[in-house]
Chains A and B, each alone.
Chain A
Amino acid sequence: MPSSSRNMLLRIDLTRQTSTTETIPPDLAAYVGGMGLGVKLLLDEVPPGTDALSAGNKLIIAAGPLTGTTAPMFAQTCIVCRSPLSGTILNTYAGGTLGAEIKQAGYDAVVIEGAAAQPVLVFVDGSSVSFHSAESMRGLDTEETARAARRAIAVPEAKVVSIGLAGENRVRYAAALAEHRVFGRGGAGAVMGAKNLKAIAVYGTRPVTVHDPKKFDLAVQAARAMISKELENEWSLLGMFSRHGTGAGMGMVNERHALATNNHRAGYFEHASEIDGLAFEREYPTRPVSCFACPVHCGMLRRVPSGALAGHYSRGPEYETMYSLGSNLGLSSREALFELNELCDRYGLDTLTAGAVLSLAVEAAERGSLKDGLDLRFGAPAGPLDLIHKIARREGVGDVLAEGPGRAAEILGGGALSYAMQVKNSGYAAWMPRRMKGTGLSFVTSNRGACHKRAPIGAEIMGFIDGASIENKAAIVKAIQDKVNAHFTLVSCRFSEFLLPSELCLQLLEGATGAVLSTTKFERLGERIWNLERVFNVAEGFGRDQDDLPAREFEPLEGEPSADPLLTRAELNYMLDEYYDLRGWDRQGVPTAGRLAELGLGAYNARIETAVK
């Protein structure tokens, strides 16, 4: 029976340099794919207490059942592993073409185990797996590594996942790059580095077939029609992203005084219009580029026209980076922002956590807690530019900052933890809990730390719901977490959740694979996965104490008429209590045995009990 799922896992053992394939067993197939498959596998195969940077951690690179098909907005690939940054379970995403290539090579997912003794390049093609020395690639940046990898295997069209120096040096927020798209959050690049895995190249020649072409095509046409309609709307988020990239909305966020500025001290940046998507578009030759089979084309490929970086080009910076390496450092220089973004991509660093660390460093320097002879001031690019190199090389204070904002703040001392903008050591995404309280609740309850992927950001920033209110936020956040988790089994783009209803996603799934799933069951699956992640985290010692925001959130914003704080601890606690109750967890944030049993996860209660006792 044709299906766009391969029903096949590839396991790669880096220690022995061997590989095996296995049919996906039914209990794993019930998690559909992508994030669901990855989370279930990691929980079952990586025992509690496994060091994220040890050979025992596993790196699961998973496509979804719709990846590689013409279903629009399903091009992303998911990596699941234990995060060396947060210590939690991690799921991290990159768009582009990697997932489609993995499917063409004949797999739904690749599980990487063990660790190599020397740097290694792994080449996966449709019929075999080969291991190549990457000794000569030591120290190369992500792009040079990708080129060297394609040369080493003599397949110029291979898709490559690579790490740069930051990953080799196990910077805890090191990213893995795939064809200029980034697995940014959580340090998957450091996990690769710890495994001595410099790069993975994938090339496949197996056509993808769908189960029922007529049914599938009808669903695709319906999705394309919805997307087209949305793109025609100049003021829809997707329409703006398609025309101007994700950086289009910075002005709107700034108007609402919700643009984090100078390490979240202020919510308004007077130079926002110099670094937003429209400014880049005006000054830099720009053309949109798509992920695989996606008609939205929100990626913006930009070239620097003049100056010291003339001729450099980059797919980016994206909106979140315009905040983290722009407004939050008080930088009004497009060129500096472009260079910081490019350095992060080349070294292989998450621009969000890197930005959180840099803004922490600048403020700590201003307060005298950090002395490294650097010119660290808000609005001055030289210090951050120097620091990025030091972090990737783990030189001097860079070695401290490479540990992540929370850990670094603890080492720096002097109360730095109160203004380290992080949750569970993971740097903030571009949003201000003080302005968007539901998003604040999402930050603290996210299973991977300060994350924007499962938060009511669109609704709160566009004003569809009141960002300042705490009422009903627990239910809103829970619903979006469960829904997005379900969609990430497919693996959808985060932006598809704005638009494509679960029913339509399931029609695509049925047409592509023949699998029939009700919407209720599908979103219930999202909740099951959410609980599995929480089980993993609770077993690693996480609970209510870690579901917290830095003290800065409870301070007033600078430059605003009101001197009162916009968010209080009591409000956060109110939302958290309500959230835990709705989840069926106890008030310490631990899933109850009864709730796990209801979700069909009774077997996982033992993992919690061992840890809590």
Chain B
Amino acid sequence: MNPSVVQTNPALCVECDLCSLACTQAHAGVLDAKTARVRIFRHWPEAPGINICRHWQCEGQPCIASCPTMAIELREGVLIIDPTACNGCGECVGVCPYGALFISEDWQAVACDLCGGAPACIPACPTAALFLED
């Protein structure tokens, strides 16, 4: 199975953070835009950056190669980070060209895992700045 991917259109983004909040609600049962796997970075007056993993268009996927414990792999179209192998060193964060990997409070690298196929951020976005593409 090759699930859909999350596409972004920053020009439509209104910076409400609803995607980030839906993300942490889905993954951790809390609301916290600061620890989300999709994050909005404001660049007023320009349109914001919407940082989310887009491995399907990522040349060389440097996070996978950078990981000293080989915790990251691409499995069936989803970036999987093995929490037992990840030591939170942050190498992947530094090399990600999309700024889409983050270190969590419990020292784990995290990235968008597409919520198992139905990303919570998609219905949360009021302007379709985030959308699914097959």
Q: A residues engaging B (CB < 8 A)? A: 4, 68-70, 97, 104, 157, 180, 205-210, 213, 287-295, 297, 301, 303, 313
Residues of B contacting A287 with CB < 8 Å? Answer: 11, 14, 45, 47
Which of A206, A213, A293, A313 is close to B45, meaning CB atoms less than 8 Å apart? A313
Within 8 A of A (CB), among B19-47: 21-22, 24-25, 28-32, 34-35, 44-45, 47
B47 contact set on A, CB distance < 8 A: 287
B-chain residues with CB within 8 Å of residue A209 when the two chains form the complex = 29-31
Contact A213 to B16, CB < 8 A, known contacts A207-B35, A208-B31: no
B18 at the interface (CB under 8 A from A): yes
On whether the beta carbons of A293 and B16 are closer than 8 Å, the reply is yes
Measured between beta carbons, the chain A residues less than 8 angstroms from B16 are 290-295, 297
Alpha-carbon distance A29/B1, docked complex (angstroms): 52
Say yes or no: is B126 at the interface (Cβ < 8 Å to chain A): yes
Residues of B within 8 A of A (CB): 11, 14-18, 21-22, 24-25, 28-32, 34-35, 44-45, 47, 105, 124, 126-127
Smallest CB separation, A49 vs chain B (Å):
43
Note all chain B residues with C-beta closer than 8 A to A97.
17
Tell me whether A301 and B31 are in contact (CB under 8 A): no
- Which of A4, A69, A209 counts the most B-chain CB atoms under 10 A from its CB? A209
- From B15, B29, B31, B44, A290 is in contact (CB under 8 Å) with B15
Bound CA–CA A297/B31 (angstroms):
20
B18 contacts across to A, CB distance below 8 A: 70, 293, 295
Are B14 and A288 touching (Cβ within 8 A)? yes
Of A70, A288, A294, A313, the contact of B31 (CB 8 Å cutoff): A70
A303 to B46 alpha-carbon distance, docked (Å): 10
Tell me which residues across on chain A come within 8 A of B28, comparing CB atoms. Answer: 207
Question: Smallest CB-CB separation from B34: which chain A residue?
Answer: A205
For A69, the chain B residues whose CB sits under 8 A away are 31
Q: Which A residues are in CB contact (< 8 Å) with B44?
A: 180, 301, 313
- Measured in the bound complex, the distance between the Cα atoms of B26 and A264 in whole Å is 53
Task: Please measure, in the bound complex, the distance between the C-alpha atom of A117 and the C-alpha atom of B77, giving whole angstroms.
Answer: 61
Please indicate which of the listed interface residues A4, A180, A289 has the most CB atoms of chain B within 10 Å of its own CB.
Answer: A289
**Which of A68, A210, A290 has the most B CB atoms < 10 Å from its CB?**
A290
Taking the closest CB of chain B, its distance from the CB of A243, in whole angstroms, is 12
Whether A213 contacts B25 by the Cβ 8 Å rule is yes
Selected A-B contacts with CB under 8 Å, 15 pairs: A69-B31, A70-B21, A70-B22, A104-B32, A206-B32, A207-B28, A287-B11, A287-B14, A287-B45, A290-B14, A290-B126, A292-B16, A293-B21, A295-B18, A297-B127
Q: Provide the residues of chain A in CB contact with B30, threshold 8 Å.
A: 207-209
Q: 10 shortest A-B CB distances, which residue pairs?
A: A295-B126, A207-B30, A290-B16, A207-B32, A313-B45, A297-B14, A208-B31, A290-B14, A303-B45, A70-B21
Q: Which of A180, A207, A210, A213 contacts B24 (CB 8 A)?
A: A207
Closest partner residue, chain B, to A180 (CB atom):
B44
Give every chain B residue within 8 A of A288 (Cβ-Cβ): 14
* Assembled-state Cα–Cα distance A76/B83 (Å): 38
Given the complex of chains A and B, what is the CA–CA distance between A97 and B21 in angstroms? 13
CA distance A208 to B18 in the complex (A): 14
A212 to chain B, nearest CB (A): 12
Q: A210 touching B31 by the CB < 8 A rule? A: yes
CB-CB under 8 A from A213, the residues of chain B are 25, 29
With both beta carbons as reference points, the residue of chain B lying nearest to A227 in the complex is identified as B126
Distance in Å: Cβ of B32 to nearest Cβ of chain A: 4
How long is the Cα–Cα vector from A69 to B18 in the complex, in angstroms?
Answer: 9
Q: How far is the CB of A227 from chain B (nearest CB, A)?
A: 9
- Complex CA distance for A295 and B12, rounded to whole angstroms: 12
Pair B22/A289 contact, Cβ less than 8 Å:
no
**Which of B16, B21, B29 lies at the interface centre, i.e. has the most chain A CB atoms within 10 A of its CB?**
B16
> If A70-B22, A297-B127, A301-B44 touch, does A289 touch B14 (CB 8 Å cutoff)?
yes
Q: How far is the CB of A440 from chain B (nearest CB, A)?
A: 36
Chain B residues near A290 (CB, 8 Å)? 14-16, 126
Nearest neighbor of B35 in chain A, beta-carbon distance = A207
Name 13 extra pairs, CB < 8 A, besides A157-B34, A210-B31, A292-B17. A70-B31, A180-B44, A207-B31, A208-B32, A213-B29, A287-B11, A293-B17, A294-B16, A295-B16, A295-B126, A297-B126, A301-B44, A303-B45
Name the B residues within 8 Å of A301 (CB-CB). Answer: 44-45
Give Cα distance in the complex from A297 to B15, angstroms. Answer: 9
The docked-state distance in angstroms from the alpha carbon of A291 to that of B18 is 10
Task: Output the residue of B35, B44, B47 with the most chain A CB within 10 A.
Answer: B44
Question: Chain B residues near A294 (CB, 8 Å)?
Answer: 16
Can you name the residue of chain B whose Cβ is closest to the Cβ of A512?
A: B31
Docked pose: A303 CA to B44 CA in angstroms = 10
Say how far A105's CB is from chain B's closest CB, in angstroms.
12
CA–CA, A313 and B44, complex, Å = 8
Q: Report Cα–Cα, A312/B44, bound state, in Å.
A: 11
